[in-house]
Chains A and B, each alone.
Chain A
Amino acid sequence: MIERHQDYMIRIPSVPAGGITDFPLQLDTDAPFALRLVKSRNIGLSGWRFQTPRRQYQSSQLRTDLYSVLNSGVFPSRGVVIYPQIIYPIGSQIVVDIGNNTGSPILNAILLFRGSKLFQDGAIAAPTYPSKLAGLPFTYETVVPGVPVSGSPIFDNQLQVIHDADFVYRCGLCDPFTLVVDGQPTSFASVTTPQFSEVYVQLKDESRKFYSNIPIHVNDLFGQITPFSTGAGGNDERVDFHPGLITPEIYIPRDHSLYFDVYRNDDPTNPAVNMPVDLRFRFVGQKVFQQ
């Protein structure tokens, strides 16, 4: 059995007051899907639930993936773990209900289903560890400079693994950062703190086969390092220690690459997010030296 990391995401432009039921997410036809984690975005405490492959609800009521900390407020989590895993057959559907007790439409409601595609041995290229190895913790960084507020996606950004060792990608981080140098041109980042909101990323392997059905919000896929001690349940509040875990890990042989597309669609009239950002993606994992 070969496991290949896979995310499926549904995005519903508007969930009416009262919620929706029986909304289908169509799965790919190349492999079954083992579901292991679910994360919501913009849904908040209104809650969600989904059906198993037997069309039975996985929970008796709508549930939430937010959590509260005493005296600190409500925080977004990295999602709720689905254990034991639920395996959806090839080409099947995940059917979801999304609540809405806010009294007005929920815009851009998102549910992210994380897990693995399950392939038969030999069905796809699946490089993995040599029989004897030495490991070294390692982090690759790829900078995507000047991501505009909106417009065309930036395709095929490259994480190129250098020639001395294979690399195992286990978690990722993404933050905006621009280096400021005395006496050099002052950038927008020197006088403001550029931020973003609607940035989505789609990972793909060297043959450009995607690891998700559509682009995933960057903070769901990568996580950010700048936490904050209090929260109110917002999607992107800075919470304690939330790197974006990639499970199962992605193994990249030396001299090979991982690619990713970056999409941004922020509101140009919102001063908080209406500037370009230099996005620094860090791919954290381990070098694997063959011995």
Chain B
Amino acid sequence: MARNPASCYNPSLTFKPQWAYQTPDGYRDEVYLVPFTFTVLANGLPVFNLPLQLDDDAPYVLYAIDFAVIGPNGGTAGLFFPGLARIRDTHGNPLSANLTNNGLIYTLGALGASGLQNENAFGFVFEPGIECAPGGTLLFDFQLSSSGSAAQFLDVIVGGSILFYAALFGTAGNGLSIELIDPGAPNVPLSVALVASVVEVTLATDGGSAITSTLNDVAAIINSTPAIAAVMGAVVESGGATVATALGVTALTGGLNGTEQILNGTLIGVKRWKECAN
């Protein structure tokens, strides 16, 4: 089917022309929307085979899916769809493949997302449409990133900042502490040790007992020492060349596991009715 020659592309328009397919002779298409809701625990683990059954009165041709809002209470939860997903049509055919991840792919391969701030709506077209059997069931698989958080502490000093975080995500990472020690002695090398649940970083000094370790040095020794990296990581957020300063024993806080997310979506397509023969 040729594209409508009157269609044109204007990048400033939100709605773009799509390929059009004629309804087969003897049939009549009627637009039909199917809202649906899934509740999925966002803990990073896959959830398979969430069903969405279609009406059994006529075949359904699926042209697009829109996920209006995804969030803990059906509200907004940031700008990004938080995970992987897959759809299988009513004949069991998966519509995506990733040979290394159960076939689930990021955002279902969505083609567009909301441009509104604090909305994570996204949607995509199926081109060509997918013919679904009357009464058939679409199956959805999801694997949402944890909506929890890692226990962490952001050390902000003049000229820079460094983030310390627990090596295990969620509540499993609570209970750790970080300490940056000014040795107060000359020519001390940079070192790190794990004492009980405290990561102690002894900062390097020069001949005048002044600290010489930078934030980059601190992050590097934490991340490159296997015994420490097993429990804690560090990321320099700004000013990596800034000289570190002493920090007393400070707990990493805020480690939380993920919670349930409500995924509101809508199927967009047509019911394909057979015309009466008369």
Chain A residues close to B by CB (< 8 Å): 67-69, 75, 77-78, 81, 135-143, 160, 162, 170-171, 173, 175, 177-186, 188, 190-192, 225-229, 238-241, 243, 269, 271, 275, 280, 282, 284, 286
Contact = CB atoms under 8 A, between A and B. Distances in A.
Interface stretch (B25-33, B105-113, B193-201, B262-270): B105-113
A183 B168 contact: yes
A177 B257 CA distance: 19
Most buried by B among A143, A171, A191, A286: A191
Given A179-B145, A240-B115, A143 B44 contact: no
A188 B89 CA distance: 36
B274 interface: no
Given A135-B128, A226-B113, A275-B235, A186 B173 contact: yes
Given A182-B148, A227-B112, A162 B97 contact: yes
Nearest to A282: B109
Given A182-B44, A190-B169, A226-B80, A141 B111 contact: no
Given A136-B130, A143-B101, A162-B97, A182 B172 contact: yes
B233 interface: yes
Contact of A241 (B14, B84, B240): B14
B152 A191 contact: yes
B11 interface: yes
B235 A191 contact: yes
A68 B11 CA distance: 10
Interface in B126-165: 126-130, 143, 145-146, 148, 150, 152, 163, 165
10 contacts: A139-B97, A140-B96, A180-B44, A180-B145, A186-B166, A186-B233, A188-B235, A225-B122, A228-B115, A271-B237
B109 A284 contact: yes
Given A271-B237, A282-B107, 20 more contacts: A81-B9, A137-B129, A138-B95, A141-B96, A141-B101, A179-B145, A180-B44, A180-B169, A182-B148, A185-B168, A186-B167, A190-B165, A191-B233, A192-B235, A227-B112, A227-B115, A229-B117, A239-B115, A271-B238, A282-B105
Contacts of B143: 179
B16 A183 contact: no
B258 interface: yes
Interface string B197-211: 000000000000000
Most buried by B among A77, A139, A177, A184: A139
A239 B168 CA distance: 35
Contact of A186 (B79, B83, B165, B171): B165
A239 B114 CA distance: 10
B103 to A, nearest CB: 9
Contacts of A136: 89, 93, 95, 130
A241 B169 contact: no
A214 B217 CA distance: 37
Contacts of B11: 67, 75, 77-78
A137 B110 contact: no
B22 interface: no
B130 A137 contact: yes
Contact of A284 (B111, B113, B122): B111
A182 B115 contact: no
Given A225-B110, A271-B238, A137 B128 contact: yes
A186 B232 CA distance: 9
B165 A227 contact: no
B278 interface: no
Given A140-B98, A241-B112, A186 B9 contact: no
B45 interface: yes
A75 B10 CA distance: 13
Nearest to A145: B100
A240 B112 contact: yes
A77 B257 CA distance: 40
B168 A184 contact: yes
A241 B235 contact: no
Contact of A182 (B105, B113, B238, B257): B257
A67 B12 contact: yes
Contacts of B172: 182-183
A280 B166 contact: no
A284 B152 CA distance: 38
A139 B163 contact: no
Contacts of B59: none
A143 B103 CA distance: 12
A79 to B, nearest CB: 9
A77 B13 CA distance: 11
Most buried by A among B99, B114, B167: B99
B43 interface: yes
